[in-house]
Amino acid sequence: MNIGIACDHGAFEYKEILKDMLQKEGHMVTDFGTYDTNSCDYPDFAAACAKSVAQKKNDFGIVICGTGIGVSISANKVHGIRCALCSEPLSAKLTREHNNANMLAMGQRIIGEEMMKEIVHVFLNTPFSKDERHQRRIDKLMALENE
Ligand code: RB5
């Protein structure tokens, strides 16, 4: 898969671990930064990653900050993005099945490294259910972008 990743200074460590894991698993990873632990602004990096997903340059985007909240809010401001903040694998599974989420957000201060890896694996390996009721709800939530 083509996967975009991004973080702020509060999650640089996890972003590097994630990049290494995904590349070893054969994914094509585009790293939108940040590239060190110097203080920075999470919307800059989350938005760049989200735009690449919205433009179909990446299949999925994964964004990480201290809590995961800032990057998830930022990503969801980009039209076409459904970014889910997950702290455990069940939410990652259900957001793919029900919301067809195209981005995943996590918090380095919130979850452990192994939990991050498990959440990412579940997210990337769970297909959208394609159930009519879920598609109807997704259509309604995406229509909110036009209001
Ligand atoms: C950075 O200090 C911190 O605010 C950020 O990583 C994130 O937790 C924001 O939601």
DSSP string, 21-51: HHHHTT-EEEE----SSS---HHHHHHHHHH
pLDDT at 64: 99
pLDDT block averages, 10 residues each, the chain of length 147: 98 98 98 98 98 98 98 98 98 98 99 98 98 98 97
Residues paired with 84 in a beta bridge: 104
98 carries an active-site annotation: yes
The residue ranges of every structural domain in the chain are 2-146
Residues near 128 by beta carbon (within 8 Å), at least 6 away in sequence:
96, 97, 100, 134
Question: Under CATH, which number does the domain 2-146 receive?
Answer: 3.40.1400.10
- Best substitution site from 65, 87, 109 to test ligand 1's pocket, by max atoms within 8 Å of Cβ? 65
**Residue among 40, 65, 83, 86 flagged as catalytic:** 65
* Residue 72 CA, ligand 1 centroid: distance in Å: 11
pLDDT at 78: 98
